[in-house]
Amino acid sequence: MSLTHSNPTPADSSGTPALKRSAELSARFVPIGLKFAVVSLLVVGIATAVAFFQATHRERERLIDAKRIAADMVADLLAQSLEAPLDFGDEDALRKEIDHLRQNKDVTYAAVWRTGEAEPWLDLRAPGPSFALPADHTTPGTSAFADRVQTIRSVVGRGNKPLGSALIQFSLARENAELAIARRDILLYCLALALGTTALLIGVTRRQIVKPLETLLGAARSIERGERGVQVPVQDNDEIGRVASAFNAMNAAISDREQRLATANKSLRELFDHMRQGIVVFGPDGKVEGTHSRAAGEIFGGQRLEGRDARELLYGEFGHWDAERRAFEEWLPLGFEAASEHWSEVVALAPQALTLNTGTPEQRDLALEFRPIAQQGKVSKIMLLATDESERRRLEREMERQGARHKSQIALMRRLVAGGGQQFVAFLERARRRFDRAAALLPEDRDGLDLPSIGEVFQIVHTLRAEAMTFELSELGQVLNRLEEHLSELREEARLTGRAVLGRNQAELRSGIAFARALIEESEELFVEASPAGRAALETMAVQKSDLAALVELSRGRNDEIEAVALRLASRPFGECVASLLEQASSWAEKANKRVRLEVDGREAPVPPALADVLGGVLAHLVRNAIAHGIEPVPERISLGKPAVGSIELSCRPDPARGAVLVIDDDGRGIAQNPVFATAAEGALSLRNLKDVSFGTSLSSVPEPTELAGRGVGLTAVEEDLARVGYAVSVATRDGGGTRFEIRPRGAGRG
C-alpha cells in the first residue's frame, strides 16, 4: 500500500506552528510602504534640518561680518579725531566728536577714557534698556554679541604717547530682524524641498515595489482559497519580476501535483471509508499524509485532515504544558528512529487511550493503536488507528458517578442528622462577622498596623482556619494558611519596631481576605444546592432563629420561668457542638502519625447560646493542641506502657446557676513534657506545684508551625473568645500524665 504526501490547505492546518507564526506576524503587520515612508521622512527630515541650520548660520555670519566692518571703520575715524582733544584736554572738542555719533542710529553707547582712569571722561547713551559697562575698555578689538557689536580703540598721540581709549557699541536689532525673515524663508524652502522629495520617493516606491507586492499577495490569497489558474503579470526584469515568475511556476507545479495526488488518494479513500476506525497516516514531522478514513474525519472534526499535525489532532485542546502531550511529543521521534523489528518495544511507550473534547457536553473516548509503515527496515510512516469507545466508557462513568453520588448523599445525610448542618450554617455566619472585623482592621488608607491590630487579625484568621478544617474546607484552609504566613512576618516586624509597614502586604492581605470570603459564599451556595430544603436550610433550626432571638431578648432580665425557657430553647446540645470533631479527630491524628480516640460525655447537656456560638473554634483549637502536643506517637506510648491509641475525652455538665462546665481531658504526656507550656517552667514557678496556668501570649509559642500546631496564637484566641462570652479556661496536670482543660463561667469555683 503506497501512501503519498499532499500539501495541507490553510483551512485544515490552523494549528500548525507555521500558521501560528503567520498569525503572529499578521497580528503585528506593518505595510512596507509605511515603513519606507517613515524612513524617508526621517532621512529627509534630518537632511533638511542640517541644511536649515547651516544656511541660517551662514546668513547670520554674513550680516555680523558686514556690521563688524562698518563698526571698525567708524571706530578708526573716531580714534583719529579724538587725538587732539585728549592731548590738550579739550572737553568741548571731545563732546563735539562724540555728538557726531548721534547721527548713526545703530550706535547705542559710546565712551572715551583717559589713560589711567577707570571711569569714562565722556560717554554717549542712546535711549533704551540699561546695561553694564565693560570690565575691560583698554584692549583694542571688535567683538560680536547676540544683540550688539562692540569695538574698542586706543588713542595714541605724538611719539606713541597713549592718550586714552574709545568704545562704541552698535545695535544688531536691524540685522536680527533681517535674519528672522531669512530664517523663515529658508525654513519654508527646506520644508517644501523635504515634502517634495519624500512624496517623490513614496510615489516611486509605491509604483515599483508596493503595488507589485500587493498583486503577488492577492494571487497567493487566491491560491489559499483554492482557486486555480492564477497568474501574476511579469512587468519588469528585476527582482520583483523574478519573484513573480517563480510564483507562477510554483503555482503550476502545485496544480499538477494535486491532480496526481487526487487520483492516488481516491482509491485509498474508498477503502478507508468502509472502515469503522479512524485511520490517519503521518510522517516524521507529525503531519498527516495522504488520505484518511471517513471515521477519522468524524472523530477529529474535519473532512480534510491532510497536512494537520497529529499532535494537534490528539492534543490540540491541551496546552504545551500538558504531561500527556509532552509524553507523546517525546515518543514521536523515538517511533521513527527505531528499527522495525524493535517496534513492539517502542509502541509500548505510546499512549493507549485518549479522551477527546468535541466542544459539546459529549466527549469521545478513543482507544489508540499505532502501526509502523517500514521501508528498508526503518519506520518511514506511522498509521494511527483510533477506535471510538465513548458509549462503553460513558456507561462505566455513569455507573461510577451514580455510586459516588449515592455515597456523597449518604455521608451528607449522616452529617446533617448529627447536627452538622446547623453547625455549618453557624460557622458561615461567624466567618462573615470575623471577615468584617478583619477588613475593618485593614482599611485602604492605612499604611501600617500596630502589634495589637496584627494580633487580632492573626487570631481571626487562625480561628477561621481551625474551623474551616473541621468542615473539610481544604481550599479555604490553604488560603487562610497563606494569610497567616504574611501576618507572621508582619507580627515579627511589629515586635521589633512597634509598627509593621503594610506596603505590598496590604493588597495581598485584603485580596486574600476577599478571596477567603468568596469561598465562604461559594460554600454556602454548595450547601444550599446539596440540601433538600434548598436555601431555607440556612434559616431552619429547631425553631426559627429570628423568633428565638426575639424571645431571648424580650425575656432578658425577667428572672422568671419565661427567661429560663427562652434560654433553654436557645441552648444547643453538647453533642451537636462536637459533631464535626468526632469525624476530624482521627484524620488530624493520622497527619501527625498518631492514633487517637475521641470520647464524648454529656451529649444531651445544653450549652448556653453565647458559649455555643464560639465553642466550635474553641474546641477545634484545644483538640488539635492535644493531638499535636499532648498525645504521644504510638511507639512512645507503647514504651511507656500506655495503650497505643490515645484518648481525648470531652465532657459537659450543666451549671444550674450560671450555664455549663466543659472539660477536655487527654492521657498524653502532660504539662511537664508539653512544649506549649515549657515557658511556664522558666522562672520561680515549679511544675511540681503547677495546678492552673492561664493562657497568656507567652504560653502560646510554638517553635515551628505545623498544620496542627499553628503559629502561637491559638490558645490566646481561645481565652479571648471565651472571655467575650463570660467564660474562662484553665489547664491542670493530672497525676500519671495527661492534661485537663476546664471551661467554666467566670467567677465560678472549681467543682
Contacts of 717 (CB under 8 A, 6+ apart): 459, 462, 463, 617, 621
Would you say residue 488 has pLDDT above 60? Answer: yes
Q: Decide yes or no: CATH 3.30.450.20 for domain 31-227.
A: yes
Tell me which residue of 495, 743, 519, 452 sits closest to 623, measured CA to CA.
743
On whether the CB atoms of residues 74 and 158 are closer than 8 A, the answer is no
Query: Which sign does the torsion angle of CA 643, 644, 645, 651 carry?
Result: positive
Amino acid at 612: A
- At 565 the pLDDT is 75
More reliable by pLDDT, 498 or 654: 654
Cell of 145: 554679541
Tell me which residue of 663, 665, 674, 676 sits closest to 713, measured CA to CA.
676
On whether the CB atoms of residues 676 and 629 are closer than 8 A, the answer is yes
Tell me which residue of 572, 613, 581 sits closest to 599, measured CA to CA.
581
For helices 609-625 and 451-470, the axis angle rounded to 10 degrees is: 90
- At 687 the pLDDT is 35
Tell me which residue of 485, 429, 487, 430 sits closest to 453, measured CA to CA.
487
Q: Phi and psi for 659 in degrees, rounded to 5? A: 145, -110
Would you say residue 459 has pLDDT above 80? Answer: yes
On whether the CB atoms of residues 677 and 699 are closer than 8 A, the answer is yes
On whether the CB atoms of residues 280 and 384 are closer than 8 A, the answer is yes
Give the pLDDT confidence of 596-621 residue by residue, as tens digits.
998 988 877 888 888 888 888 889 88
Q: Phi and psi for 596 in degrees, rounded to 5? A: -145, 150
Give the pLDDT confidence of 558-597 residue by residue, as tens digits.
777 777 777 777 777 787 788 778 778 888 888 888 999 9
On whether the CB atoms of residues 579 and 419 are closer than 8 A, the answer is yes
State the average pLDDT for the chain: 76
What is each CA distance from 111 to 147, 153, 552, 567, in whole angstroms? Answer: 18, 11, 109, 113
Q: Which of 73-77, 210-214, 314-318, 444-448 has the highest mean pLDDT?
A: 73-77
Strand-by-strand arrangement of the 162-171 sheet? 122-125, 107-114, 162-171, 148-156, 141-144
Give the SS3 label for residue 49.
helix
On whether the CB atoms of residues 515 and 438 are closer than 8 A, the answer is no
Pairing of strands 739-745, 727-733: antiparallel
More reliable by pLDDT, 747 or 306: 306
CA dihedral 242, 246, 249, 253 (to 10 degrees): 170
More reliable by pLDDT, 527 or 708: 527
Reported confidence tier of residue 664, pLDDT bands at 50, 70, 90: very high
What is each CA distance from 629 to 125, 595, 721, 738, in whole angstroms? Answer: 102, 13, 22, 11
Looking at 146-150, 202-206, 340-344, 542-546, which range is the least confident one? 542-546
- At 410 the pLDDT is 41
Amino acid at 456: E
Give the pLDDT confidence of 276-313 residue by residue, as tens digits.
677 878 888 888 887 677 777 777 776 677 888 888 87
- At 542 the pLDDT is 53
Mean pLDDT across 705-726: 75
- At 596 the pLDDT is 92
Would you say residue 663 has pLDDT above 90? Answer: yes
On whether the CB atoms of residues 618 and 721 are closer than 8 A, the answer is yes
CATH of domain 419-540: 1.20.120.160
In words, the CATH class of domain 273-388 is: alpha beta
Cell of 495: 515586635
Would you say residue 744 has pLDDT above 70? Answer: yes
Would you say residue 418 has pLDDT above 60? Answer: no
More reliable by pLDDT, 647 or 672: 647
Mean pLDDT across 101-107: 83
On whether the CB atoms of residues 299 and 366 are closer than 8 A, the answer is yes
Tell me which residue of 621, 683, 282, 573 sits closest to 296, measured CA to CA.
282
- At 665 the pLDDT is 92
Other C-beta atoms lying within 10 Å of the C-beta of residue 439: 15
- At 689 the pLDDT is 40
- At 685 the pLDDT is 33
Where are the chain's structural domains?
31-227, 273-388, 419-540, 572-745
Long-range contacts of 509-516 (CB under 8 A, 24+ apart): 509/442, 509/457, 509/483, 510/439, 510/442, 510/444, 512/479, 512/482, 512/483, 512/486, 513/435, 513/438, 513/439, 513/442, 513/483, 515/479, 516/435, 516/464, 516/476, 516/479, 516/480, 516/483
Q: Do 31-227 and 273-388 show the same overall fold?
A: yes
Q: Please state the pTM of the whole predicted model.
A: 0.41
Helix (H), strand (E) at residue 194: helix 173-205
Q: What CA–CA distance (Å, rounded) separates 514 from 494?
A: 24
In the chain the first and final C-alpha atoms are separated, in Å, by 95
Counting beta carbons within 10 angstroms of the beta carbon of residue 402, is it exposed (0 to 12), middle (13 to 18) or buried (19 or more)? exposed
On whether the CB atoms of residues 732 and 742 are closer than 8 A, the answer is yes
Other C-beta atoms lying within 10 Å of the C-beta of residue 539: 11
Q: What CA–CA distance (Å, rounded) separates 473 from 634?
A: 28
Would you say residue 649 has pLDDT above 90? Answer: yes
Tell me which residue of 409, 359, 364, 357 sits closest to 387, measured CA to CA.
364
What is each CA distance from 584 to 125, 473, 588, in whole angstroms? Answer: 105, 12, 6
Q: What CA–CA distance (Å, rounded) separates 422 from 539?
A: 9
Q: What CA–CA distance (Å, rounded) separates 262 from 255?
A: 11
Check residue 630 and report its DSSP letter: I
Reported confidence tier of residue 682, pLDDT bands at 50, 70, 90: very low
Q: What CA–CA distance (Å, rounded) separates 102 from 120?
A: 18
Q: What CA–CA distance (Å, rounded) separates 187 from 164?
A: 47
Cell of 459: 487570631
Reported confidence tier of residue 274, pLDDT bands at 50, 70, 90: low
Counting beta carbons within 10 angstroms of the beta carbon of residue 277, is it exposed (0 to 12), middle (13 to 18) or buried (19 or more)? middle
Looking at 108-112, 116-120, 520-524, 669-673, which range is the least confident one? 669-673
Q: What CA–CA distance (Å, rounded) separates 608 from 574?
A: 10
Q: Decide yes or no: CATH 3.40.50.1390 for domain 572-745.
A: no
On whether the CB atoms of residues 294 and 279 are closer than 8 A, the answer is no
Cell of 135: 570690565
| pLDDT over 90 percentage in the chain | 3
Reported confidence tier of residue 647, pLDDT bands at 50, 70, 90: very high
Cell of 251: 503555482
Secondary structure of 402-451 in HEC code, one letter for each residue: HHHHHHHHHHHHHHHHCCHHHHHHHHHHHHHHHHHHHHHCCCCCCCEEEH
Give the pLDDT confidence of 340-396 residue by residue, as tens digits.
788 888 888 888 888 877 555 567 778 888 888 888 778 888 888 888 877 777 777
Q: What CA–CA distance (Å, rounded) separates 586 from 574?
A: 20
Q: Which of 359-373, 415-429, 628-642 has the highest mean pLDDT?
A: 628-642
